[in-house]
Amino acid sequence: MNEEIIIAGFGGQGVLSMGKILAYSGVMQGMEVSWMPSYGPEMRGGTANVTVILSDKRISSPILKMYDTAIILNQQSMDKFEKFVKPGGLLLYDGNGITRHPERKDIEIYRVDAAEEAAKMQSSKTFNMIVLGAYLKLRPLVEMENVMNGLKKSIPDRHHHLLPLNKAAIERGGEIVKEVSGV
Amino acid sequence: MKGNEAIAEAAIRCGVDGYFGYPITPQSEVMETLMDNKPWETTGMVVLQAESEIASINMLYGGAGCGKKVMTSSSSPGISLMQEGLTYLAGAELPCLVVNVVRGGPGLGTIQPAQSDYFQAVKGGGHGDYKLIVLAPASVQEMSDFVELAFDLAFKYRNPAMILSDGMIGQMMEKVEMKPFKPRWTNEEIAEMHPWATTGKPASRERNIITSVELDPNAFERFNLKLQAKYKTIQENEVRCEMINCDDAEYLFVAYGSSARICQKAVDLLRAKGIKAGLLRPITLFPFPTKQIQSLAGNLKGILSVELSMGQMVEDVRLAVGQSVPVEHFGRVGGVIHSPEEVVEALEKKIIGG
Amino acid sequence: MAIDIKEIIKPENIVYKKSSLLTDNVMHYCPGCTHGVVNRLVAEVIEEMGIQEETIGVTPVGCAVLLYNYIDIDWQEAAHGRAPALGTAIKRLRPDRYVFTYQGDGDLAAIGTAETIHACNRGEKIVMIFINNGIYGMTGGQMAPTTLEGMKTATSPFGRDASHDGLPIKITEIVATLPGTSYVTRQAAHTANSVRKLKKALKKAFLNQKEGKGTSFIEVVSTCSSGWKLNPVDSNKWMEDNMFPYFPLGDIKDE
């Protein structure tokens, strides 16, 4: 098993922390993982992306050109990364603010309206967990228990009271994700 | 854990006495992690934010002169400011650790990863004939492990050591196994183990003087010869490198740090195409694995030195093999990171097709 | 009645002797230089306090670079201007030791200004001794940050021009404004009286360190006969007439 993922969106959408939770979940499940963020001024409001690799072997390059999965959360990232999904790979996106929807025919495309759902849940902070839930539904690489342990590990103790809300968001993401087009 | 955090955690665990630093991207997490951990309450380690990199490196001089395990971390522009201090440390034969999480230059440059400080790290950097012991980690695990290794080598040879990393290894997260805690040396242990250190002069010994000045030309020539003999011993005994798929390789990548990780993937991609590629990853950049590269040269059709620079380490690869094998360089710069696919293409164009 | 040498060296006739901490190395200082006197006083203070085994000194780049040849304690020789950074780390890592720096005006108040100010601002528990003779002695008499207006040096051959070079910096007054300093004083060492006062100041500074007080900073307004191109007697007179009005003696801060 070797899953190479790019998560891309705006700074502030929780892109890096979602990647971190996924990476920690992988660690909890006994996998090799790497988490390689874009860093710098992007962190402060511009675009942000992170490459996460989950594998059962030693990971070679943490920097990639082609990905098994792209999780795309804004239009700029769609324009940048749609073409870098490997044929047969997965593109998962949030439709909010997307004006040009993905066009590839050789990949699986799924949509999760996480921003809308987060608004319904009255907590914008759950946005990235809804996306994560959608991804895990499609690629159940890590068990829920390990995801929760990963979550615990990656958020400060003072926020641990939010764990149930995050769990609900992850589950909700799995429920609302829908297929747009298959291979 | 991030590479930068692993450095900090390892420093506390291996009994470092003092960290002195100045913030600069992309390595500020080192000092932030230390401050967050408050090691002065547990191991007694001192952590101090200095007024500049110049002050930091000179604090290392003061601490190292007392026989203490002291370190700093910075990134390229900050390391340039430290060059004066580094040559004094080398001249006074003081052990210490300097971590350079390299970013792109010249000038203020970029905060993105680069490997363009190779010359500065391995060829001296400051004035005079001296060398640093230079370790190049290629994973977060090695960021952690090399802290202790660097101090071991630094004290063994009374020489400053450098961990030459980059923004990619510093910022990425991987699994790390941390080593158990080791106590810091006591002042009594230091006085015994490092009789050269300025610990306060007891009646039982002559006064200790930590200095790099010697105004008698003959004496200073002798000192320089002694330094060179030390570097020769290091070259003979301390080379470390990793060879991946080298046994039957016809094409060899030589790459360190983050580029080595990318080349490892490139080797897989090439092998899948039936091309016998291998990777030699120098772990020590000084001492450079010259003999190890030479030992492979006979079977090779070509070598590609892959670095995030315009071609620095490639000179040492060429020095190792001479005219016997074609040697080319490939590397993106300015903060752009080459992908494994680009590296494959470079090998095919520059070496296989060339 | 004439007494011969044998009479003079009888123990009961001794009125003064060299500190046991001063080595037998011949000092390289020029005749009339203030450094020799201050070196001797530092040795005496350390000896009298009985802290030879507990003291680590830091020498500068400048005329005092080889100071470690003269006083029998452990020493570190710093890069130009960086002595306070060394002193900071030594004291932080060996708080059980007495640590002092000994620097000239170029070292402390030009190239090392940042290190000086920030060590004082952090209140490093060290003693800083500052020899101010208004000139770069070691490199052959160039203009220093404390060279007086109109004073001729190798790099101000027509005299220091304030419109070009600014006025001499009063670094001692500057560090006195910093909350980290506990004792800031300006002394001299050209008369028996000033030597006694300076020694008292030095002792107080080392005692402050024992008590864990903030930085003690002692400026010694000094002469440089070679650089000033005056004989030692005239140098002292010139210092009194010209240096003292701009750099007045006395305690600036004592907390």
**Mean pLDDT, residues B20-38 taken together:** 97
If we measure between CA atoms, which residue out of B330, B324, B333 comes closest to residue B346?
A: B330
Res A40: pLDDT? 63
Q: How confident is the model at residue C6 (pLDDT cuts 50, 70, 90)?
A: confident
Kindly report the nearest CA distance between residue C128 and chain B, in angstroms: 15
Beta bridge partners of B253: B279, B304
Domains, chain B, ordered by start? 3-187 (3.40.50.970), 241-352 (3.40.50.920)
| CA A59 and chain centroid, separation | 19
Domains, chain C, ordered by start? 27-146+164-254 (3.40.50.970)
Q: Is the pLDDT confidence value at A28 over 90?
A: yes
Nearest CA in chain C to B190: C94
- Say if CB C76 and CB C90 are below 8 A apart: yes
If we measure between CA atoms, which residue out of C205, C220, C187, C202 comes closest to residue C255?
A: C205
- Say if CB C148 and CB C160 are below 8 A apart: yes
Beta bridge partners of A168: none
E strands along chain B, which residues? 18-21, 46-49, 70-74, 96-102, 133-135, 160-166, 173-174, 209-210, 241-244, 251-254, 277-282, 284-286, 302-306, 327-330
**Mean pLDDT, residues B89-109 taken together:** 97
- Say if CB A96 and CB A128 are below 8 A apart: no
Q: Is the pLDDT confidence value at A154 over 90?
A: no
Query: What does pTM read for this prediction?
Result: 0.94
**Mean pLDDT, residues C72-100 taken together:** 98
**Mean pLDDT, residues B191-212 taken together:** 97
**Which one of A22, A63, A64, A83 makes the best mutation probe of the B interface by having the most chain B beta carbons within 10 Å?**
A63
Backbone angles phi, psi at B160, to 5 degrees: -65, 145
Q: Does A154 touch chain B (CB under 8 A)?
A: no
Q: Which of A31-40, B149-158, C42-51 is predicted with the least confidence, judged by mean pLDDT?
A: A31-40
Query: Residue B296: what residue type?
Result: L
Residues 31-60 of A with CB under 8 A from B: 32-37, 39-40, 59-60
**Mean pLDDT, residues B214-235 taken together:** 97
Q: How confident is the model at residue C1 (pLDDT cuts 50, 70, 90)?
A: low
Q: How confident is the model at residue B211 (pLDDT cuts 50, 70, 90)?
A: very high
**Which one of C86, C103, C118, C128 makes the best mutation probe of the B interface by having the most chain B beta carbons within 10 Å?**
C86
Query: What does the alpha-carbon distance between residue B171 and residue B165 come to, in Å, rounded to a whole number?
Result: 10
DSSP string, A45-106: TSEEEEEEEEESS----S--SSEEEEEE-SHHHHHHHGGGEEEEEEEEE--TT-SS----SS
Query: Residue A147: what residue type?
Result: V
B200: which DSSP letter? -
Res C21: pLDDT? 97
Query: Residue C168: what residue type?
Result: P
Q: Is the pLDDT confidence value at A44 over 70?
A: no
List residues of chain B with CB under 8 Å from any CB of chain A: 25-26, 111-112, 167-168, 171-175, 258, 261-268, 337, 339-342
Nearest CA in chain B to A154: B1
Kindly report the nearest CA distance between residue B236 and chain C, in angstroms: 31
Res A41: pLDDT? 55
Kindly report the nearest CA distance between residue B190 and chain A, in angstroms: 39
Q: Does domain A2-181 have CATH number 3.90.226.10?
A: no
**Mean pLDDT, residues A58-85 taken together:** 95
Q: Does C118 touch chain B (CB under 8 A)?
A: yes
Res C13: pLDDT? 81
- Say if CB B89 and CB B96 are below 8 A apart: yes
Query: What does the alpha-carbon distance between residue C220 and residue C171 come to, in Å, rounded to a whole number?
Result: 12
Backbone angles phi, psi at A84, to 5 degrees: -95, 10
User: Residue B69: exposed, middle, or buried by beta-carbon count in 10 A (0-12, 13-18, 19+)?
Assistant: buried
**Mean pLDDT, residues C201-224 taken together:** 98
Contact B198 C118 (CB under 8 A): no
Backbone angles phi, psi at C131, to 5 degrees: -95, 115
Helix (H) or strand (E) holding B79, with range, is: helix B76-81
Res C3: pLDDT? 75
Touching chains, A (3+ CB pairs < 8 A): B
Res C75: pLDDT? 98
Query: What does the alpha-carbon distance between residue A168 and residue B235 come to, in Å, rounded to a whole number?
Result: 59
Q: Which two tokens stand for residue A147?
A: 């995801």
Give me the count of residues in chain A: 183
Res A12: pLDDT? 84
- Say if CB B53 and CB B82 are below 8 A apart: yes
Beta bridge partners of C187: C220
C181-188, strands of its sheet edge to edge: B209-210, C74-77, C55-59, C98-104, C127-132, C215-221, C181-188, C250-254
State in Å, rounded, how far the first CA of chain B is from the last one. Answer: 42
Give me the count of residues in chain B: 354
E strands along chain C, which residues? 55-59, 74-77, 98-104, 127-132, 135-136, 142-143, 181-188, 215-221, 250-254
Res C62: pLDDT? 93
Q: Is the pLDDT confidence value at A42 over 50?
A: no
Query: What does the alpha-carbon distance between residue C91 and residue C80 come to, in Å, rounded to a whole number?
Result: 19
Q: Which chain C residues are closer than 8 Å to B46 by Cβ? A: 92-93
Helix (H) or strand (E) holding A179, with range, is: strand A178-181
Query: What does the alpha-carbon distance between residue C42 and residue C127 come to, in Å, rounded to a whole number?
Result: 11
Count of A–B CB contacts within 8 Å? 65
Q: Which residues of C49-61 are buried (b: 16+ CB within 10 A; e: fewer)?
A: eebbbbbbbbbbb
Q: Is the pLDDT confidence value at B21 over 50?
A: yes
**Mean pLDDT, residues B280-297 taken together:** 98
| Nearest residue, CB atoms, B48 vs list C59, C65, C92 | C92
**Mean pLDDT, residues B240-257 taken together:** 98
In this predicted model, what pLDDT tens digit does every residue of B306-321 receive, in sequence order?
999 999 999 999 999 9
**Mean pLDDT, residues C240-253 taken together:** 98
**Mean pLDDT, residues C119-147 taken together:** 96
